[in-house]
Amino acid sequence: MVGTIIGASIFVQPSEITGQVPSIPGVLLVWVVAGALTLAGALVTAELASTFTRTGGVYVYLTAAFDPAVGFLWGWAMFWTMHSGIIAAIAVVFARYTGFFVPLGDVGIKTVAIAVILILTAVNYVGVKQGSRLQTAFTAVKLIAVLLIIAFGFALGGKLPEHFVGSTTASADLSLSSVLTALVAGLFAFGGWHMVTYNSEETVDPVRTIPRALILGTVIVTVCYVAMNAVYLYVLPLDAVSSSTRVAADMADALIGSGGGAVMSGIVMFSTFGALAGIVLAGPRVYYAMARDGLLFRWVGGVHERFQTPHRAIVLQGIWASILVATGTFRALFTRVIYTEWLFFGLMALGLFVLRRRSDLTRRYSAWGYPVLPVLFAVCSFAIVINQLVTNTAESVVGLSLVLIGLPVYYLWARKGYVRPPTT
């Protein structure tokens, strides 16, 4: 979970938050709130994961709580835009930072991005252990790098004349919309926390392991993110953090000179590769579960006789993500649709109330703070969606329409009798 969440965002662009909330306490508070909200979602999901041990995660929970159509829409958005789009986006970030060491044009960046997608597709094709071990190794090194950045930043930053300098921009004009926009940027950096639930059936003792991973993983990432932002603000003036598109590299340059950019470029490459490994591993498990329930062609859910992986779903994901990179369409699709996952998260939290009324289900873990915490998480999730619709109406409507296109597809599929009742 930690390896999936910590990708490029924390190293590259916290500027969105500092631009919206131009004060040091405000910036740190937004990161804490984003972590707390993610933890609330993790606690809700932990209870659902202890109740349903089927592979598929959010898809399974939405289907069980409401209707297969709701679960189908989640999987539909995942494949065509949300999940495949984030794979494409992170692969392009990896390729761009590769260009720091090897000159790459636009074609070269796309070629490297597609190559890394295909390499990780092949790794996950041959087994979940290989994919998870690769991610574990990269996560360990990534966390060591984060700790070193924090340690060196606080050790050397005090020697600079402008450490912990606030913004020259007045913060009195803060609005609820700007705070929500900053919070969305923070939550984007926490993206992927739910993916650990996707491969339940391949996890040892998922009833205990997945809730523990959700909770501990969120806490670890929150501590890392708050500490990283604190060290950025300790070394650089707030206005410099606000305007930077590669804040970690700028901080390194301030501390150790021009070579800092090369060091940070290497760390970002390492970090994005590790995050990509986890995301490539997670997605096909949802498509496998959907195929098993009759919501995709049955052959998509085929399991490899030797490797015991959903190999066809893995290949399809790799091909589509590569097409998105090659055409560049992932940028428009991803930015239009990514906010809609919070609509599904809100529904998932409300689904917890529905599922607790079912007498045929046994839960091994109860979400802390029930019923207040799930309600709070649902309200915040829907507030994020509403804020996006109000502040960026045209793009948001297009994105929501792309998701809702899946409804007629589902009902056509169901009319032909392909849909089977899901098992728990």
pLDDT of residue 13: 67
264 pLDDT band (50/70/90 cuts)?
A: confident
More confident residue, 87 or 134: 87
DSSP state of 422: P
On the question of pLDDT at 402 being above 50, the answer is yes
Question: Is the residue at 182 inside a domain?
Answer: yes
With respect to residue 420, please indicate whether it lies within any of the assigned structural domains.
no
Is 19 within the bounds of a domain?
yes
CA 12 from chain centre, in angstroms, equals 15
Q: Among residues 76, 65, 21, which one has the least CA distance to residue 186?
A: 21
Residue 267 is assigned to a structural domain of this protein: yes
Residues 118-129 have pLDDT tens digits of: 999 998 888 777
pLDDT digits (tens, 9 = 90+) for 132-142: 787 788 888 88
The model carries a pTM of 0.87
In a domain, 86, yes or no: yes
Do residues 160 and 24 make contact, with C-beta atoms less than 8 angstroms apart? no
Total residue count of the chain as it appears in this document: 424
**Is the pLDDT at 322 greater than 70, yes or no?**
yes
394 located within any domain? yes
> Quick check: 64 and 355 in contact, CB under 8 A?
yes
Q: What percent of the chain has pLDDT over 90?
A: 31
- Residue 424 maps to a domain: no
CA 182 remoteness from chain centre: 16
Select the more confidently predicted residue: 92 or 257. Answer: 92
The two structure tokens encoding residue 359: 């007498």
How many domains, the chain?
1
Range of the domain at 283: 2-415
Task: Tell me the pLDDT of the chain averaged across its residues.
Answer: 85
In Å, what is the CA distance from 362 to each residue of 43, 47, 356, 366, 370? 17, 10, 9, 10, 16
139 or 60, which is more confident: 60
In a domain, 371, yes or no: yes
Cβ distance 272 to 262 under 8 Å?
Answer: no
Cβ pair 237, 247 in contact under 8 A: no
Query: What was the pLDDT predicted at 170?
Result: 47
Top pLDDT among 333 and 295 is at 295
Contacts of 140 (CB under 8 A, 6+ apart): none
- pLDDT for res 314: 93
330 band by pLDDT with thresholds 50, 70 and 90: confident
The pLDDT value given to residue 165: 57
Q: What is the CATH number of the domain that holds 39?
A: 1.20.1740.10
